[in-house]
Amino acid sequence: MLVGKVVKDVRPMTKAEMESEYWDDRPPTVIVFEDGTKLYPSRDEEGNGPGCLFGENEGGKKFALY
């Protein structure tokens, strides 16, 4: 579903997007692809609130996007 897509933007979730998910917590990071697809973390598979993305760069340094 995401293979071959190109990332256009990485940004905080907007207030309107938060409201559409019925979330009132701290906004998570949204990854936006060139075709308009958006990817963002949830704290669980039921969508009960925003979550956090964890990663590791090419140098092995770990990071988190809240």
Residue pLDDT, tens place only, 16-53: 999 999 999 999 999 999 999 999 999 999 999 999 99
Whether 60 is covered by a domain: the verdict is: yes
Radius of gyration for the alpha carbons in the chain, expressed in angstroms and rounded: 13
Say what the pLDDT of residue 66 is.
Answer: 84
Whether 59 is covered by a domain: the verdict is: yes
Q: Which domain holds residue 32?
A: 7-65
Say what the pLDDT of residue 14 is.
Answer: 98
* 3-state SS, residue 5: coil
Say what the pLDDT of residue 54 is.
Answer: 96
Say what the pLDDT of residue 28 is.
Answer: 97
pTM above 0.95, yes or no: no
Q: Is 65 exposed, middle or buried (0-12, 13-18, 19+ CB in 10 A)?
A: middle
Who's near 17: CB < 8 A, 6+ residues apart?
Answer: 27, 30, 38, 40
Who's near 37: CB < 8 A, 6+ residues apart?
Answer: 2, 5
Say what the pLDDT of residue 33 is.
Answer: 98
Whether 36 is covered by a domain: the verdict is: yes
Whether 2 is covered by a domain: the verdict is: no
Whether 1 is covered by a domain: the verdict is: no
Whether 35 is covered by a domain: the verdict is: yes
